[in-house]
Amino acid sequence: MGEIIRVAFDAVLANKLRSLLTMLGIVIGIAAVITMVALGEGAQRSVAQRLQGLGTNVLTVRPGQSFTGGMIRAQASMTIDDAEALRENPRHIQAVAPEIESRFQVEYGAKNANLSVVGTWPDYFKVNQGQVTDGRLFTDAEDKGRRRVVVLGALAGAQLGLTDTAALVGESIRIRGIPFQVIGVLAEKGAQGFNNPDESLYIPLSTAQFRVMGSDRIRSIAVQAVSDTSMDDAMAEIDQKLRREHRLRPEQPADFNIRDQASLLSTMQETTQTFSLLLAGIAAISLLVGGIGIMNIMLVSVTERTREIGLRKALGATGMDIMLQFLVESLVLCLAGGTLGLLLGMGGAAMLQRMAGWTVVVAPEAIIVAIAFSATVGVFFGIWPARRAASLAPIESLRYE
């Protein structure tokens, strides 16, 4: 076996350029698969971390469609009364945070930017696990008093030309031309889809309704259940209270939607996993092409070395010896290509993370699968040329020109 392996390595190294070109398909295929799987795994973990940061026991209530005569007539609306109804005599509900949001021009000195302004209750920060790093959060008394106070997201100051958002604590900014006092800054949470809470401003809900936006309609209500195990009970309680508030009969369809973060997390993970598998499948086509290339080169090698095969058999080599020699050559080509592709894929993933800021994770399972797949390709596409070489008759091989 040692001699077989040595001869196989000698044969591969005897034609370095041809061996390198033969491995190129495997190198590109493995590199593409490793990079795509790393991106997909990173996307899944990023989505999971961000959604878990919102709380797994949080339900989101949004307006649905209003129905008249069995037909959709208009988008239903939700008001502060709905949030008040949910907060009244709670059984499975721990906190309620209605939310109203719009974009306004925000000014600080000579700087200005168009930013998202969110009006909500103080419980919003509890429900969404918002931590203050500088200053403080606004209180229920400030909400009832319609005070002009604002809490900034971690990156809101950068939008206004400041390097440190904390420098705005105690300062006055203008929202839609109305002066507000900055009382706190939140810890950074990261972007969530098309929305980045770190660039948003948070003001009391009553202030937003009566001083800034002039509307009593709210966009959504975040509801925190008592625990993860009471999610179904909390959903039933929300449905019961909002149906009573909207005067809906049991047989009528609800004009609101209830979503929980756990189902959203599961959906997003399934989506990113499907996307990752699709990309990996496309990249795996390169492996198939590379394997066919290796089989083609091995067939050419068998033809070129027919006299050598006849000489080895004449000196006592068995068909199994010849077959093992060519299988080892094919395996060496694939494993070497797989190793180079693995290094290239890991380097490409690291480059994407550094240059594009994407989250990438090269899982150990992906490395093991890549190497195992390379070996499988080597054996699968090398077995036919190896069997062909082993079946050659010694006398006919020695006569071959």
Q: Report the alpha-carbon distance of residue 116 to residue 102 in Å, rounded.
A: 6
Residue 181 and residue 282 in one domain:
no
Classify the C-alpha dihedral 42-48-53-59 as positive or negative: positive
Q: Report the alpha-carbon distance of residue 336 to residue 293 in Å, rounded.
A: 15
Q: Does some domain include residue 393?
A: yes
The pLDDT of residue 55 is: 58
Residue 332 and residue 237 in one domain:
no
The pLDDT of residue 56 is: 63
- DSSP label at residue 79: B
Asked which of 254, 289, 317 is the last residue of a domain, the reply is 254
DSSP H helices, 61-114, are 80-87
Residue 221 and residue 342 in one domain:
no
Element (H, E) at 59: strand 58-63
The pLDDT of residue 258 is: 85
Q: What is the pLDDT along the chain (401 residues), one digit of tens a residue?
A: 777 677 767 767 777 777 777 777 778 777 877 777 777 777 767 666 665 555 567 888 888 765 555 555 546 688 899 999 998 888 999 999 999 999 999 999 889 999 999 999 999 998 888 889 999 999 999 999 999 999 999 999 999 888 889 999 999 999 999 999 999 999 987 665 556 788 899 999 999 999 998 888 888 999 988 887 788 888 899 999 998 888 888 888 888 888 876 666 666 667 766 766 776 676 667 667 777 777 777 777 766 667 777 777 777 777 777 777 777 777 777 778 888 888 888 888 888 778 766 677 777 777 787 777 777 777 777 776 777 777 767 666 666 55
The pLDDT of residue 364 is: 78
Q: Report the alpha-carbon distance of residue 273 to residue 389 in Å, rounded.
A: 43
Residue 41 and residue 88 in one domain:
no
Q: Does some domain include residue 59?
A: no
Residue type, 307: R
Q: Does some domain include residue 203?
A: yes
Q: Report the alpha-carbon distance of residue 253 to residue 276 in Å, rounded.
A: 37
- DSSP label at residue 291: H
Residue 271 and residue 239 in one domain:
no
Residue 215 and residue 321 in one domain:
no
Q: Report the alpha-carbon distance of residue 123 to residue 343 in Å, rounded.
A: 49
Q: Report the alpha-carbon distance of residue 239 to residue 259 in Å, rounded.
A: 12
**Is pTM beyond 0.95 here?**
no
- Which range marks the domain in which residue 388 is found? 1-51+266-399
Q: Does some domain include residue 25?
A: yes
Residue 102 and residue 124 in one domain:
yes
Q: Does some domain include residue 317?
A: yes
- DSSP label at residue 203: E
Give how far the C-alpha of residue 370 lies from the chain's centroid of Cα atoms, to the nearest Å.
Answer: 21
Number of domains present in the structure of the chain: 2
Asked which of 207, 230, 254 is the last residue of a domain, the reply is 254
Residue 227 and residue 93 in one domain:
yes
- Measured CA to CA in angstroms, residue 120 lies from 125, 201, 206 at distances of 9, 11, 8
Q: Does some domain include residue 77?
A: yes
Q: Does some domain include residue 261?
A: no
Classify the C-alpha dihedral 51-53-57-63 as positive or negative: negative
Q: Does some domain include residue 131?
A: yes
Residue 171 and residue 306 in one domain:
no
Residue 242 and residue 277 in one domain:
no
Residue 378 and residue 312 in one domain:
yes
Residue 337 and residue 247 in one domain:
no
Q: Report the alpha-carbon distance of residue 224 to residue 128 in Å, rounded.
A: 9
Q: At what angle do helices 80-87 and 231-246 cross, to 10 degrees?
A: 130
Asked which of 202, 223, 254 is the last residue of a domain, the reply is 254
